[in-house]
Amino acid sequence: MKKSLSILMLLVISFSFNACSLDDDDDTNFKYVNLKVLSAEVPESFDFGERYTIYVTYAKPNACTYFEGFDIHKHQLTEREVYPIGTELIGNDNCQASTEEVEVNFDFEVIYKEDYLFKFWTGQNEDGEDQYIEFTVPVNQ
């Protein structure tokens, strides 16, 4: 019994060391990219405790980039930076540039009674500084 338990433990330990590799040479075929916001549609005001749908139009950079969701950074209590996130396939020579505009949305729940500031990422300027479209939405109590 002790011998079979020892063998089982040895197998588990050896498989655990070989199961995952953290090397960068794993032939990853995509990368995550921020997608530039062209416009956003937010309500004129929020009611405290309610849920709203916020619409965002982004520029699809090429045929090999696919929308994945949003990365929303909370700064201060009611300030949010919104970044649409896409995956871009790497190593595909058929990725033609695109001028397609895509509308997506996310739900937002109002949990604070202060005005919200939304900053939608539009890209970087020539100095590498992030640029945003900004909206302040007051909260009705």
Residue 100 belongs to a domain with what CATH number? 2.60.40
In a domain, 60, yes or no: yes
Tokens of 69: 């969701």
Domain range enclosing 52: 24-140
For the entire predicted model, the pTM comes to 0.78
In a domain, 10, yes or no: no
The residue ranges of DSSP E strands in 1-141, in sequence order, are 30-34, 37-41, 46-47, 51-59, 65-75, 79-89, 101-109, 116-124, 130-137, 139-140
CB 117 within 8 A of CB 78: yes
In a domain, 2, yes or no: no
In a domain, 76, yes or no: yes
For 88-133, the pLDDT digits (tens) are: 998 777 888 888 999 999 999 999 999 999 999 999 999 999 999 9
Tokens of 59: 């520029």
In a domain, 14, yes or no: no
User: H or E segment at 10?
Assistant: helix 2-18
Total domains in the chain come to: 1
